[in-house]
Amino acid sequence: MAYVAHDETAYVAPLEVEEEHLYHAKTWLGKYVFCQDAKVIAIQYACTAMGIGLVALVFSLIMRLQLGFPNTFAFIAPEDYYQYVTMHGMIMVIYLLTALFLGGFGNYLIPLMVGARDMVFPYVNMISFWVYFLAVLILVASMFVPGGATGSGWTLYPPQAVTSGTPGSDLGIILMLVSLIVFIIGFTMGGLNYVVTVLQGRTRGMTLMRMPLTIWGIFMATVLALLAFPALLVACIMMLFDKIIGTSFFMPAVISMGEQLPHTGGSPVLFEHLFWFFGHPEVYIVALPAFGIVSDLLSTHARKTIFGYRMMVWAIVVIGGLSFIVWAHHMYVSGMNPYFGFFFATTTLIIAIPTAIKVYNWVLTLWHGNIRLNVPMMFAIGFIFTFINGGLTGLFLGNVTVDLPLSDTYFVVAHFHMVMAVSPVLVVFGAIYHWYPKMTGRMLNDSLGKVHFWITFLGTYAIYYPMHYLGFLGLPRRYYAMGPTEFMPASAQSLNQFITIAALVVGAAQLIFLYNLITSYRNGKESGDNPWESTTLEWQTAETPPGHGNFGKDLPLVYRWAYDYSVPGAPSDFLPQNLPPQGGSAEGIKED
């Protein structure tokens, strides 16, 4: 077997972009605020997302305080608790993870990694961020209106979300829905950019199958988001109609606080279908970019080609496609036609196969590698461990029968936090440690990074692994307080306290990370252009951080895929994508 072959080298003219085609900021506002450079927009997205995410993190700690030590903190009343629950979930899933992976990493990495000067529609891209920012503002505003933010859980199920037994059932829910609608509009603008840039903006030689998996993940996640967010949009608009105009799309005849409401005949289950038709792909909107990024981190730091690249690409595509026909596994016990359970359990468990393949391929990428165990790599390996755990518990919940005792318990909470919160967030951290040098020209502090990794990795496992067992015990989720029960041993409460303490420690550890981010910006070690000796194009820019237009005068030409690590016979253990083949020299091995 031989792996590397090439044809004779032919001279190819580099791709030049004329100066006037590029956007140039003329004012300070244009350069730093209303900037159309994808890299600046990326940082704006990332900072906004992490800012609001920090708020959601604090909310989660307040929730944990209440759960671990009920009746201790007078400032957490039941309505506050349910508002924290709702805002925490909504912010983390949509305003943090979706925005950070697609708006943040997507904007930063897509043009650089495919060899483009910028997104194809920079103006729309800029608007996209500001619309997102507006959505965040509306969301924050909803916490300060009379009645406060909605406390209906992030799923916003009607009739509960709009009837007065729920906190924030007037202005709170209206602003929440408006904020989501605005978010979706903004996201669609950004999403069009990400997709079209991947399709059209690639430099010469960057065929689809030479793209790094990061781009594949972000690309497919964006496609999913573009097709799935309309479902949420439809649900939000219809619920707004129900709330404001008094239609009965989702609202059946109900009694609220002893009074008949004017609605008749609507179907809450219809809302659930629409919500999860968006909600399930949303899981993969967050997961696929993480899958992609972690593949690149593993390959780079193990100095080894990603194992089974084609299988990896196909797994991403298949997962994306299947994610549209599994949504009702969130609704096994929702009162929908129970016969749907057969179909959705089957599709759900089928989706486990491509997902498992990805895990195998990550682990096989480490096998026979030459592993540099630096901070990004530690986060990547931590991700694999967490993701295996979270993925396997998904097989419990996806299997309709096993879901019966476990749904709506802490098992579900533990599962989705493991798979959709901790796993992607470990990747986010790994990715920030990995790309921070490119974004700032300086390395993040290694020792602080390691401390951050250990506390986060072990701490989150200490939070969520035992939590599954509270679920087995039957502890229901979204309970302000369990109070005395007959079927749970008293020791369950001490486990709850342990989890709370672990959560506080993990929460505090994130301050180390913030400190590292801020201080390294000035004091970090200079990184040089390619500190990790990586092959992909973003590391081959002339300047670090890359200047406006990304690549200087000439766009790079791509001669090879993104994973030429440790090519037999090559002088170094990595060959950048834009390195021309040296005709028939050491690197070339004849095919047998």
Query: Which residues in 194-233 contact another protein (CB under 8 A)?
Result: 195-196, 199-210, 223, 226-228, 230-231, 233
Using the minimum distance from each CB to another protein, give the nearer residue, 192 or 286: 192
Query: Which residue stretch of 64-72, 105-113, 282-290, 515-523 sits at the interface with another protein (rule: CB under 8 A)?
Result: 64-72
- Residue 561 in contact with another protein, rule: CB under 8 A: yes
- Other beta carbons within 10 angstroms of residue 157's beta carbon come to 19
* Pair 407, 270: CB distance under 8 Å: no
Query: How far apart are CB 193 and another protein at their closest, in Å?
Result: 8
- Residue 565 in contact with another protein, rule: CB under 8 A: yes
Query: How far apart are CB 229 and another protein at their closest, in Å?
Result: 8
Query: How far apart are CB 363 and another protein at their closest, in Å?
Result: 5
- The contact mask relative to another protein for 458-477 (x = CB under 8 A, - = no) is x--x---xx--xx-xxx-xx
What's the sign of the alpha-carbon dihedral 450, 417, 56, 61? negative
10 Å CB burial of residue 349 (0-12, 13-18, 19+) is middle
Structure tokens given for 515: 């400190």
Using the minimum distance from each CB to another protein, give the nearer residue, 29 or 372: 372
Query: How far apart are CB 294 and another protein at their closest, in Å?
Result: 13
**3-state per-residue secondary structure call for 176-245:** HHHHHHHHHHHHHHHHHHHHHHHHHCCCCCCCHHHCCHHHHHHHHHHHHHHHHHHHHHHHHHHHHHHHHH
What whole-number distance in Å separates Cα of residue 147 and Cα of residue 291? 40
- Residue 361 in contact with another protein, rule: CB under 8 A: yes
Candidates 87, 274, 499, 537; binder of another protein (CB under 8 A) is 274
Beta bridge mates, 259: 256
- Residue 325 in contact with another protein, rule: CB under 8 A: yes
Looking only at residues 391 through 410 of this chain, which bind another protein when binding is defined by CB under 8 A? 392-393, 395-396, 399-402, 404-405, 407-409
Looking only at residues 82 through 111 of this chain, which bind another protein when binding is defined by CB under 8 A? 82
- Residue 367 in contact with another protein, rule: CB under 8 A: yes
Using the minimum distance from each CB to another protein, give the nearer residue, 544 or 565: 565
- The contact mask relative to another protein for 228-267 (x = CB under 8 A, - = no) is x-xx-xx--xx--x---xxxxx--xxxxxxx-x-x-xxxx
- Residue 485 in contact with another protein, rule: CB under 8 A: yes
Going by C-alpha positions, the residue among 252, 235, 241 that lies closest to residue 184 is 235
Q: How many residues bind another protein (CB under 8 A)?
A: 188
Query: Which residue stretch of 137-145, 353-361, 420-428, 497-505 sits at the interface with another protein (rule: CB under 8 A)?
Result: 353-361
Looking only at residues 502 through 541 of this chain, which bind another protein when binding is defined by CB under 8 A? none
Report the residue count for the chain.
592
* Residues whose CB falls within 8 Å of the CB of residue 544, separated by 6 or more in sequence, listed in order: 437, 438, 441, 527, 528, 529
What whole-number distance in Å separates Cα of residue 206 and Cα of residue 551? 15
Give the CB-side neighbour count of residue 213, counting CA atoms within 13 A.
30
Looking only at residues 412 through 431 of this chain, which bind another protein when binding is defined by CB under 8 A? none
Candidates 309, 383, 513, 551; binder of another protein (CB under 8 A) is 309
Beta bridge mates, 255: 260
Looking only at residues 2 through 21 of this chain, which bind another protein when binding is defined by CB under 8 A? 3-10, 12
- Residue 121 in contact with another protein, rule: CB under 8 A: yes
Beta bridge mates, 442: 526
CA distances in angstroms from 430 to 9, 113, 293, 358, listed in the order given:
37, 18, 9, 18
* Pair 120, 190: CB distance under 8 Å: no
Looking only at residues 146 through 175 of this chain, which bind another protein when binding is defined by CB under 8 A? 151-153, 157-160, 163-167
Using the minimum distance from each CB to another protein, give the nearer residue, 61 or 371: 371
Candidates 334, 451, 507, 548; binder of another protein (CB under 8 A) is 334
